[in-house]
Amino acid sequence: MQHQTNIRPMVEGGVLSAIAIIFAMISAYLPLIGPFVNLIWPVPIILLGVRHGYKWSIMATAVAGVLIAILMHPLHAVSVVVGFGLIGITIGHAFRHKFSPVKTMIWGSAASLISKIAIIGIAIVVLGTNPLNMQGEVMEKAMEQAFDVYRSMGIKEDDLATLAETMKQAIGLMQIILPIGFAGAAVVDTYLNFWVAKAVLRRMGHYVEPFPPIKEWTFPRPAAYIFIGSMAAVYFGKSQDIILLYNIGFNVYIGAMLVMGAQGLALFNYLADKYNLSKILRAAILFLVLSNGFMTQMLVFAGIYDIMADYRKLRTPR
């Protein structure tokens, strides 16, 4: 009897492992759709985890990694399996045990972030290079090549010097916010796989709890305190020339500002529904708000107000 019950997960595990291998090949050899397919590589692993548990999804991930290493290249296998395997295992486990969408996103994002850190560590140990430093070098070389083109077009050296200083500051800023960039990428990875796997599972007859409507989104009150604290850290870090404090504070500030902005969007959608605004008018208002720096700041402060005052009464009885 045990032998018979193991046949189905073994067959499905083999099929889904084969799909994962095909995804890896597409991501490597098809430049247009390859990057997108690479991002959704965990989907077959998620499906197997939902249907048969995390042990089978771990086994399928390991088998897919070995076969990718044999058929393609060991480094590609490492980048795919280490970079995305843990996401698939984690989200599949969360779906199987009926985690809430928010809890699934938190667990999946943590798995994605751990995977990205692991990839960087492997690159440093095995290849002896830091991908983060390489990105800065690539951007500087691209800037030099662009300046050569500008010189050939007759642009004055004084103007190029001003532009070079601006671009160097931009590159420096990008290097500072790399940590929050990785965290943001982890959230995007998780949400994309959540959405694709949810659509596939629905066709297979599995129910996955959807996210609540945007107008019902809310974040805990400490998020506002973190936002205010990050601004203080940025100020004191810069004024006292404490580079580490400034860098940490700036990354936290960017992340907290995005959270406050999301809270502001939730408040906007609530008010738009309350006053029956048309879709065209909503889109026009959002375009004006998001395309204007001052209005975007107002959206952030509206989010802070909503968190602190609980304007929509989501945390207190109506």
More confident residue, 182 or 131: 182
Q: pLDDT tens digits, residue range 47-64? A: 888 888 888 888 888 888
**Res 137: pLDDT:** 63
CATH no. for 2-128+179-203: 1.10.1760.20
CA–CA separation, 103 vs 293, rounded Å? 32
Q: pLDDT tens digits, residue range 188-238? A: 999 999 999 999 998 888 888 888 888 888 898 899 999 999 999 999 998
Question: In this structure, are residues 212 and 127 in contact, taking their beta carbons and an 8 Å threshold?
Answer: no
Give the chain's mean pLDDT: 84
Q: What are the boundaries of each domain within the chain?
A: 2-128+179-203, 131-176, 214-309
**CA–CA distances in Å: residue 18 to residues 12, 26, 188:** 10, 12, 25
Residue 155 pLDDT exceeds 80: no
Q: pLDDT tens digits, residue range 170-199? A: 777 777 888 888 889 899 999 999 999 999
CA–CA separation, 83 vs 64, rounded Å? 13
